[in-house]
Amino acid sequence: MKEKITFADLVDKIAEETGSSKQLVHDLLHETVNLTREGLGRDGHVNITGLGRFSLKWHKARTGRNPQTGDAIEIPARSSVNYKPSADLRKYINRNYAHLQAEILDEDKKPVIENHIAAPVIEEKIVPPPVTESPKTPSDKKKKRSLWWLWMLITLLIIILAYMAWNFWLKTATDKEPIATEMVTDDAVVQPIATEEPVEEVQPSEAEQPIIEEPVEEAQPTEAEQPLVAEPVKEVQPAEAEQPIIEEPAAEEPIALQTTAGTPGGQHITKRGDNLWIISQRYYNKADLWPNIYRVNHIEIKNPDNLAVGNIIQVPALEGKVGSLTHNDSANIAEGNIRAYLVYKKLNKTDANDYLWVAGRYDVDNKISQFSDEIDEEDINRIKGMKLKE
């Protein structure tokens, strides 16, 4: 049997603990009950802080059954007073059970969950993993590596092709350049001097000016196509008449284009990419004869392998042809090879003796003995049993 506290005992207890009079506590409890009844009657619910909520609940009429007799009984509609304790009160009396949580029962009881709600959610969560895991497979990594090497090879090929195309373009550009603009034949050099001679002779005597003007006027029709070049010819003074040997042939370029293109016996203005080997190939159609060009220009050219751009190189003509050289041609080629040997010896080139050996083959005038003061005797002895490198 549960212990029960009466209203009087409750009043005594509250009065004792609060220090208030029993009458006041009695009136307080009594009026609180009355106000609760009034509130239920008026609003249908009453809230008392710290205690809970009293409310009325309406029940519809229904048919019940007498449990003893089993007869049906008509239960009329009625209203009942309900009570819901406040959250603070519930929490206080359950403070010893606050740590307990509701446990979900074993999974045998969960088919309801999978069939109704969880199933579609789980399916959505399962779908993404294969997509995220697929790129991490080793086969895909290998494919990526192989593709990387492929791309590297393609880029290397493109770079090599571009480099080859650039070199080819450079060669073709140099080959297509009008040689007449770069070289001057012996005739072209002679002609302007011949035309200037009357200028030098005539200018001191002003009486014969009409005669002087004639060659100038004769030159003008040819210079009419290039007015910029014609002006310096008119302004040339007698004292400087011998200097513009380089410029004057430019005034007669049309003549050079027709007569001296690709033939030796003139001058060549070096450009970027030029070397004696290329120049010899261009003018003699044989690159091996480059020492012959070097022979004439050995004072200006300190290193045959490195030509400065803009240099004027004399290209000597051959008396014979490349296939049938004359005695003088052979002697000149021998001298050129000796000079090539000397300069390469000076530059500590390893293949200097090759040129000495070649000079020996062309040496019809005993040129080697002429340069015996400059050539080492050891090298002469060495080339006797030597074969030319291919």
Residues in contact with another protein, shown as a per-residue x/- string from 70 to 89 under the rule CB under 8 A: -------xxxxxxx-x---x
- If one asks whether residue 120 binds another protein (CB under 8 A), the answer comes out as no
- Residue 73 Cβ vs another protein, minimum distance, rounded to whole Å: 17
Whole-angstrom distance, CA of residue 3 vs CA of residue 239:
148
* Residue 117 engages another protein in binding (rule: CB under 8 A): yes
Closest approach, Cβ 151 to another protein, in A, equals: 54
Least Å distance between CB 63 and another protein? Answer: 19
User: What is the enclosing helix (H) or strand (E) of 58?
Assistant: strand 52-59
Query: Minimal distance in Å, beta carbon 135 to another protein?
Result: 36
How many residues bind another protein, per CB under 8 A?
A: 70
Q: Provide the b/e sequence for 291-313 (b: ≥16 CB within 10 Å).
A: bbbbbbbbeebeebeebeeeeeb
Residues 17-76 that bind another protein (CB under 8 A): 17-18, 20, 24-25, 27-52, 54, 56-58
Structure tokens of 182? Answer: 């770069």
List the end-to-end C-alpha distance of the chain, in Å, as a whole number: 129
E strands present in 230-371: 266-269, 312-315
Binding-site member from 62, 65, 90, 234 for another protein (CB under 8 A): 90
Kindly tell me the burial class for residue 40, based on how many C-beta atoms sit within 10 Å of its own C-beta (0-12, 13-18, 19 or more).
middle
Q: CA 145 to CA 157: how far, in whole Å? A: 19
Name the amino acid, one letter, at 41. Answer: G
Please report, as residue ranges, which positions from 233 to 262 form the binding site for another protein (by CB under 8 A). Answer: none
Closest approach of Cβ 95 to another protein, in Å? 9
10 binding another protein? (CB under 8 A): yes
How does DSSP classify residue 105?
P
Which stretches of the chain bind another protein, using CB under 8 A? 2-7, 10, 13-14, 17-18, 20, 24-25, 27-52, 54, 56-58, 77-83, 85, 89-90, 92-94, 97, 100-105, 109-110, 112-113, 116-117
